[in-house]
Amino acid sequence: MFGKKGWLGLLMTAVLLLGACSQGGGATTTGTGGSDANSTDASGNEASGELAPAKLKIVLYGDESNRMKELAKTEFYDRIKQEINAEVEFQFLPWTEYAGGKTDLMLSTGEDFATYTDANYMVKSVAKGLYADLTPYTEASDDLSRTVDEASFKAFQLSGKQYAIPVGNKPNSAEFYSVLVRQDLLEEVGMSEVTSLAQLEEYYDKAHAAHPELIGYAGVDARRMLLYDYTDKNLYWQNDFVALDESAQDDRIINWFESEEFKKYAGLMRGWYEKGIIPKYAATNVPQLQSDWNSGKAMFWAGTAARPFEGAATISQAVPDAKLVNYFLGEGRPKISRGTYSTAFFVSSAAKDPERYVMFFNLLQKDQELYDLFAYGIEGTDYTLDENDRITRLTTDSLIPDWLLMNKNFIRFDNSVPDDFIAEYKAWDDGAVISKGAGFNFDNTPVKNEETKLNGVLTEYLAPIGSGFVDYETGYPKALERLKAAGIDKYIAEYQKQFSAWHAEQNQ
């Protein structure tokens, strides 16, 4: 789900993905003796080898469609019952509850459920005892582990224990490092490609002259996209404060906001803001940027491997001839990957049968038939396939979210997606390098108070500078003063200490 943060969330105090992970988690043991044919073992299996009945609750976020409600009670229900002898209740919560709210309440009051997380929230929550340790049950995800890489599993481990099961297998390298360009606009103004910052700004100038009603960049964070122009390092961010130089064979972390790279980057963004590439309203109305992009009113956005077809599906409703293409504003540096997962599911520590939950996660990525069922519904009713296995959706209702399930081995493309793009998408990660920080999870306990203060400084002082809204020379001295007062030195020292220890273990 990364993956996914940056200035956008910071400036609007946006919804952050909550991932609460925890240790613990017991299994049901209801056996009464070896002579009882219905006695169960520690994993909830009957002594005869049959799975005992189980009830599971899967929490998803967003709006539940009418078709999802139907299938949850019929085909989904029946197939899950058939596969793992479990009755599954799907509960949808608003995304606002993901960062706390009802999800936190459900965990703290001991509800039996599972939902998704990210690594940062996992670390914070494991210490609270809110997630089950899933290490004993990982064999129940054997099918899933054949299509999800080892690095993705390691990303959700702490001290060798598995606290969440990754789902999805999609090209994730170089997320937001490419620029996603409206190729139709680019060609309209007489250009064919954008492979440098100079060309990108030329494209904006020409497109702005032809279409002054359009905005340039539909975002406020371009530190990855502009990397080739402000540093020779191959930077990859651990969080908003810490980056790694993936081209250096060492364990040194970079204090991003006190680096020379941040100063140069802030200068580029200030230039974009003054030029109008980032619209002036972005300083007070960041959400409008996303709306403008979706309605075809922006020239470019930060790219990922999947965004050309994901974005085109939305924009084409407003601009039928829209075409999107990814470009990198430089070359010569390998793409960095955190792993191929879309998200990862945790199980609450109060769950009676953690293993059965893992069996359910496995079903989501087990084979093409089950993937089609959960992602697309019933063939002939919800979708059709042509002789080339291209999909036509007969209903627009979302089921289990596409982004959550996305697996390049199973995903179906419609006829609007060119064959060459599909080949490029599936090969996107070829030659990619796993980050040297992949699998490292920072324990913020020793600097929890400092981190809280630093996030406040980030939102109020540093994010506006990094987005170009405030001039670096004018705003940085005060921002640095606040950063120091909030405890950045202690935070960086603790992060370096933990990362160095972890890095040494990995390289023994």
456-492 pLDDT, tens per residue?
Answer: 999 999 999 999 999 999 999 999 999 999 999 999 9
Q: In whole angstroms, how large is the CA radius of gyration of the chain?
A: 24
Strands 86-93, 54-61: pairing kind: parallel
Exposure of 489 in the CB half-sphere (CA atoms within 13 A)? 5
Categorize the per-residue pLDDT at 99 as very low, low, confident or very high, splitting at 50, 70 and 90. low
Alpha carbons 109 and 116: distance in angstroms, whole number: 18
SS3 281: helix
Strands 336-337, 433-434: pairing kind: parallel
Run of H or E residues at 162: strand 161-162
pLDDT of residue 34: 32
22-79 pLDDT, tens per residue?
Answer: 333 333 333 323 333 333 444 444 433 589 999 999 999 999 999 999 999 999 999 9
pLDDT of residue 485: 98
Structure tokens at 176: 């937001």
Mean pLDDT, rounded, for 257-276: 98
> What would the DSSP string read from start to end of 307-371?
HHHHHHHHHTTT-TT--EEEE-SS-SS--EES-S-SEEEEEBTT-S-HHHHHHHHHHTTS-HHHH
Residue 185 zone, left/alpha/beta (φ > 0; ψ -120 to 50; rest): alpha
* Cβ count within 10 A of residue 317: 12
> What would the DSSP string read from start to end of 396-409?
----S-HHHH-BTT
SS3 90: strand
pLDDT of residue 23: 34
At which residue do the structure tokens 């690594």 appear? 119
Structure tokens at 183: 């190729």
pLDDT of residue 475: 98
pLDDT of residue 310: 80
Q: Which of 345, 344, 351, 341 is nearest to 129 (CA)?
A: 351
Specify whether the CB–CB gap between 315 and 419 falls below 8 A: no
DSSP 64: P
pLDDT of residue 82: 96
334-389 pLDDT, tens per residue?
Answer: 999 988 899 999 999 999 999 999 999 999 999 999 999 999 999 999 999 999 99
Alpha carbons 295 and 310: distance in angstroms, whole number: 14
Question: Given a cut of 50, is residue 5 above it in pLDDT?
Answer: no
Specify whether the CB–CB gap between 15 and 95 falls below 8 A: yes
Alpha carbons 100 and 22: distance in angstroms, whole number: 15
Domains observed in the chain: 15-170+343-363 (3.40.190.10), 178-337 (3.40.190.10), 445-506 (no CATH)
For residue 235, list its beta bridge partners: 245
Mean pLDDT, rounded, for 278-300: 94
Alpha carbons 367 and 375: distance in angstroms, whole number: 12
The chain-wide mean pLDDT, for the chain, equals: 89
Please give the share of the chain, as a percent, with pLDDT higher than 90.
74
Categorize the per-residue pLDDT at 396 as very low, low, confident or very high, splitting at 50, 70 and 90. confident
pLDDT of residue 43: 43
Least confident of 82-86, 88-92, 218-222, 416-420: 416-420
Alpha carbons 224 and 174: distance in angstroms, whole number: 8
How far, in Å, are 2, 192, 212, 283, 288 from residue 8 at the CA level?
Answer: 13, 30, 24, 11, 11
Categorize the per-residue pLDDT at 212 as very low, low, confident or very high, splitting at 50, 70 and 90. very high
* Cβ count within 10 A of residue 49: 7
Q: Which of 473, 9, 489 is nearest to 266 (CA)?
A: 473
pLDDT of residue 49: 53
What is the pTM for the complete model shown? 0.80
pLDDT of residue 417: 87
403-452 pLDDT, tens per residue?
Answer: 899 999 999 999 888 898 899 999 999 999 999 999 898 888 899 999 99
More confident residue, 167 or 126: 167
